[in-house]
Amino acid sequence: MESPAVPVPLDPREQPILERLLRTRDALLLLKQDKSSYIKSRDVLPLYEEVIGEVEKLNAARKEQDRRLIHNRLDYVLDDCFQLISLLFLTVGRNNEAPAVYSLATTIQRLLDHLEEAGFYSAKDLNSITKTLESTQETLDRGRNTYSPALLTLLESRLEQCQISLKRLQEGLNVLSPSLAQTHETLVSILRSTSAVNTRPKFSTTEVNSLRDQLKKIESHMKDGNFVDADGNVLPSQENVKTLMDRCWRWTETVLERQGKIHEAFQEQYERLLEIRNQLDRLSVTQAWSLRETDLFGYQRKLDRIDEARVNGNFVDAEGHTADLHAQRTLLYLIRRSYGYIYALLISSEPVSEALLPVYNQLQTLRRCLIEVKESGGVSNSRELYPYSMKLNSIDNMRVDGKFYIGPDIPEGQGSVNALLAECYDLVWDLRAAVADEESQP
C-alpha cells in the first residue's frame, strides 16, 4: 500500500495515532471489499468519526512543529482513510456532504499538475474543473455547521491549492489571441489523438497520417510561418500556438517511427498503465450499472504510486535510466488519461445509495425513452403508453408511505428517485394529453 521510501513517524506521539489509523483503514478496506450486502451510512459514520478523532490528536501533536515536515507513513495512511471515507460517502449517496469532496479534490489536483506538466490543454479542460470546484466549495459551505473544523480546514486547503493551480493554467490560456483559440484547441486534440493511436493494440499509420493532414491544412493558412487574419495581418500572441504546432509535427513523426512499440525497459510499466486505462475506459461505459465508487480506490492508489515513483518527473527503468521521449510521453499520457477517467466517474456519481441504484437506473432509462418518444412526435394512441405506465406503476408500488425500503432500511437518495419517478409520470401524462387533444379534434 505504501511506497517503500516513506519514512516512519519520528515523533513518539504520532506512533499510537498511526497504529489506530491502520486499524481503521483495515476496517474501511473490509467494508469496501464486502460485496455481500449494500454499504449503509451507519457502517461508514463511526469509522469517519474515528478518523476525525485521530486527526484532532495529530493536529494537537504537530501544533508546535514545523509545518513543512516531510510526509511520513502516518500522512499516507491518513490520506488512504480520507480517500476511502470519501468514496464510501459517494457509495451511500451522500455526495453533497463535505467528506465526499476529498477524493474529487485530490483527483483534480493530480489532473491540474499533469496538465501543467504536459504544457498543453484547452479551455474545455479548465471549464469543467472550474465548475466542479465551484460546486465542491458550495458543498463545504453547506457543511460548516455539521462537520468537524479539522475536516473543513483540510478540504479548504486542498481546494485552495487547486484554485492556485487552475489560475496559473488559465493565465497560460489568457495570453492566446482570441482569433487563435480554435486553432489551439484543434492542435491540443491532434496531440491527444496521436497519443491515443500510439497506445492502441493495433497501430494505425492511416490515422496518424490523417492527423498530419489536419496539420497541413492548418499550415496552409499560415503566411511566412505566421498565423494571419483574413486581411493577411500577423495575429498577436501566437508563439504558444506555433510551439504547439511544432510539437504536433515532431510527436506524429516520432509515433510513426515507433509504430506503437515502447522501449523494452519500460514495457512492464507500460502494460500496467495500459491495463488501468483500459479497465477505467470499460467502467466509464458501464458505470451506471456496474460502478461502486469505492472500486476507484484501487485504481487511484496504483496510479498515485506509479506517478510518485518518477524521479525529477522522469520515468526510470530497473537500472535507474530515464525513459526516452517516446516512452516518457506515452506513459504520461496513460496516467493523465486514467486520472481523467476517474475524474469523470466521480463527477457523474449520482446522489443515490447503491441500494437504490437499480431502481434509479431503470427510471433514467425510462425517462430517456419517453423523451425520445416525445421528440419524435409522440404516440398515435394511448395504448402505446401502456408498457411505460405499467413499468412506472410497478416501481411506484415498491414504495411504502412514499419511501423505497431495502429490507428494514431507507437508503439515501429518496428525493432523487422520487423526483425522477414524478418526472416520468409527467412525461407519460403529457404524451397521453397530446393524444387526447388530437382525438377530440374534428
- In this prediction, residues 285-296 reach a mean pLDDT of 82
Does the pLDDT at position 440 exceed 70?
no
- In this prediction, residues 366-377 reach a mean pLDDT of 94
Structure confidence at residue 80 as a pLDDT band (50, 70, 90): very high
How confident is the model at residue 364, as a pLDDT? 94
Does the pLDDT at position 8 exceed 80?
no
Distance (Å, whole) CA 176 – CA 237: 6
Higher pLDDT, 45 or 436: 45
How confident is the model at residue 4, as a pLDDT? 44
Angle of helix 357-375 relative to helix 267-290, nearest 10 degrees, comes to 80
Does the pLDDT at position 190 exceed 60?
yes
Neighbours of 130 (CB within 10 A): 13
How far apart, in Å, are the Cα atoms of 277 and each of 1, 33, 81, 270, 337? 20, 21, 24, 10, 7
- In this prediction, residues 280-292 reach a mean pLDDT of 83
Structure confidence at residue 77 as a pLDDT band (50, 70, 90): very high
- In this prediction, residues 100-128 reach a mean pLDDT of 93
Structure confidence at residue 382 as a pLDDT band (50, 70, 90): confident
Distance (Å, whole) CA 411 – CA 367: 22
Neighbours of 277 (CB within 10 A): 21
What grid cell was written down for 299?
485504481
What grid cell was written down for 185?
484547441
- In this prediction, residues 363-386 reach a mean pLDDT of 92
3-class DSSP state of 302: helix
Does the pLDDT at position 289 exceed 90?
no
By C-alpha distance, which of 302, 437, 321, 424 is closest to 366? 424
| pTM, entire model | 0.90
Please write the tens of the pLDDT for every residue from 216-269. 999 998 888 888 888 888 888 888 899 999 999 999 999 999 999 999 999 999
How confident is the model at residue 1, as a pLDDT? 40
Residue 351 backbone dihedrals phi, psi, to 5 degrees: -75, 55
Distance (Å, whole) CA 279 – CA 345: 12
How confident is the model at residue 11, as a pLDDT? 79
For cell 506538466, the residue is 117
Q: Check: CB of residue 7 under 8 Å from CB of residue 55.
A: no
The rounded mean pLDDT for the chain is 91
Q: What is the DSSP string of 344-391?
A: HHHHT--SS-TTTHHHHHHHHHHHHHHHHHHHTT--SSGGGGHHHHHH
Determine the distance from the C-alpha atom of residue 267 to the mean position of all C-alpha atoms in its chain, rounded to a whole number: 26
Does the pLDDT at position 2 exceed 50?
no
The helix or strand, by DSSP H or E, that contains position 226, with its residue range, turns out to be strand 226-227
Distance (Å, whole) CA 364 – CA 350: 11
Task: Please state the domain extents for the chain.
Answer: 178-261, 357-440
How confident is the model at residue 66, as a pLDDT? 55
Of 4-8, 59-63, 209-213, the least confident: 4-8
Q: Can you name the residues that pair with 400 across neighbouring β-strands? A: 403
- In this prediction, residues 130-137 reach a mean pLDDT of 96
How confident is the model at residue 288, as a pLDDT? 64
The helix or strand, by DSSP H or E, that contains position 403, with its residue range, turns out to be strand 403-404
Which positions ≥6 away from 53 have C-beta within 8 Å?
none
How confident is the model at residue 24, as a pLDDT? 97
Does the pLDDT at position 434 exceed 90?
no
How confident is the model at residue 214, as a pLDDT? 96
pLDDT exceeding 70 applies to what percent of the chain?
95
How confident is the model at residue 65, as a pLDDT? 63
